[in-house]
Structure 1
């Protein structure tokens, strides 16, 4: 178990989508915000990614523009191209057909993931609206290999394409987020998840919590698992994660419980056991305290 995979896994809903987009200059499209994450990769030509705030970002062949929060944005052949009257769509629905003029061609590969943003993992909350990963020879080879495979699969579909595309989209999202986390500098005073995932002891503690959410953990027991005293572990964990150890444990248990309620029709007792509660009553009480409504009502609302 690892924190990044779990953070994405617990938020994922539905299946990811991908398509190739071909445009001829001058062109410009707006993408409306949506509940999820997405990316654009330039396969041919160049374009500009225009975020809702801040400077436009130039994208060249092989560049990845990742949008972990599904923020609204625009794409254009030039930051000077007028977007007035440009078709609006979500990142999942940008028209793949060619439009614009008769100028230079740009070919984009885009992917979109539906995520439950009502309870994002705190790791996601620290991510910027746009992550720009420029293509550089010999740099991020696994990411660009996955992009190349995805482009080939979309251009030449065959048996099992749906499964292949879904798996490659997951890989690209994970590689993009890993690249951003790896590139954050640490001067020894930073906090947050980029620093957290570089701390071997706290990362190990998080893995224990994620792997055994039903474990009867105490601060002392978690500290002992990673070779720290109770006090030292508690201070270090709270400073990096932003929650005390048992606070994060409760948050993770309730996040898993919500996912199980949304995706399964099993009885509540099953969820209580899987999330470390000794009785159905204790689980129901903890869930209502966390979410502000009964588990049954939550299950109904999450399936609408």
Structure 2
């Protein structure tokens, strides 16, 4: 069997569709100039987010965490995945505060710093599953950005600072493009990626991962997966292990696990129907699978915060 994909156009179209869905789900959420000892706090947000620093310096970190805070400067952008509690603050080590206790902030003309924030919806099960494959957070420092991305960020910063008529509409349109560039940058940063996300970087494995995300309950035998990747069975198994650190079966298991988590948290479907969607013959078989990988039962996971 040839090791060259015969349908590269179809693969490209699948990735393009994914990026397009992400762009359509980007929503302008918040912008302001900031002064004083300000803090913006998000606790277990139900959407992924982008924060663009438009002016000054600030700090990014996680409440109730020993992880060191990260210093951000104008032009830096942060991607934060769904459910990740985080703060952006002027102080390097802010106190854990409630939303009602957050200091107020001034208008842009009084500001010492500035932030533009976006929410990213997951309009389909496919995009939601891909978000779950992404890291909890990623910082794209200004000096590490491609020139095209820098140009977009510069325009957003200028429009935000000017507050001229129509600036919010312009910022929204630019944010659609920004979301695509950011997701492309996150997926393509090769070092340290493992599992299904690493497979998205490989031209042979990418169409397979997208196909499994679209149809997690399919009959995904090794032969079937090898055909989807346009590889021989042995070449596919070797490539899968080399690029993801997972066997073909465990690759499927990880993708099914991500869909299971989404269905348990975002739907009221009974376990029997979730099991059927994921290709299991019974709720009992699905429950054994889920507990094996999640270290808790599906019912416990559904009830957990």
Shorter-chain TM-score tier? 0.5 to 0.7
Find the aligned partners of 2:283 and 2:190 in 1 and give their Cα distance: 45
- How many residues matched? 265
In structure 1, the partner of 2:4 is: none
Contact 1:38-1:91 at 8 Å conserved across structures: no
Contact 1:31-1:89 at 8 Å conserved across structures: no
In structure 2, the partner of 1:65 is: 77
Q: Structure 1: which 5+ runs fail to align?
A: 77-82
Whether 1:18 aligns to 2:26 is: no
In structure 2, the partner of 1:139 is: 148
Find the aligned partners of 1:218 and 1:290 in 2 and give their Cα distance: 20
Q: Comparing 213-222 with 134-143, which one deviates more in the overlay?
A: 134-143
For normalisation by structure 1, the TM-score amounts to 0.63
Say what the alpha-carbon RMSD is for the aligned residues: 4.9
Equivalent position SS for 2:73:
strand
Equivalent position SS for 2:148:
coil
- Residues 92 and 200 of structure 1: CA distance in aligned 2, closer, same or farther (over 3 Å): farther
Q: 2:272 aligns with which of 263, 269, 274?
A: 269
In structure 2, the partner of 1:227 is: 230
Written as runs of structure 1 = structure 2, the 5 A alignment for 1:27-66 is: 27-31=36-40, 34-36=43-45, 37-43=48-54, 46-51=55-60, 53=68, 56-59=71-74, 63-66=75-78
Find the aligned partners of 2:40 and 2:288 in 1 and give their Cα distance: 41
In structure 1, the partner of 2:263 is: 260
- Residues 292 and 3 of structure 1: CA distance in aligned 2, closer, same or farther (over 3 Å): farther
In structure 2, the partner of 1:175 is: 181
Q: 1:244 aligns with which of 240, 243, 247?
A: 247
Q: 2:285 aligns with which of 272, 282, 291?
A: 282
Find the aligned partners of 1:65 and 1:30 in 2 and give their Cα distance: 17
Contact 2:263-2:274 at 8 Å conserved across structures: yes
Query: What displacement does 1:249 show?
Result: 0.8
Find the aligned partners of 2:102 and 2:120 in 1 and give their Cα distance: 14
In structure 1, the partner of 2:132 is: 121
In structure 1, the partner of 2:9 is: none
For normalisation by structure 2, the TM-score amounts to 0.63
Query: What displacement does 1:132 show?
Result: 2.2
Find the aligned partners of 1:291 and 1:55 in 2 and give their Cα distance: 30
What are the Cα deviations for residues 226-245 of structure 1, in whole angstroms up to 9, with x where unaligned? 22122221121122223222
Equivalent position SS for 1:140:
helix
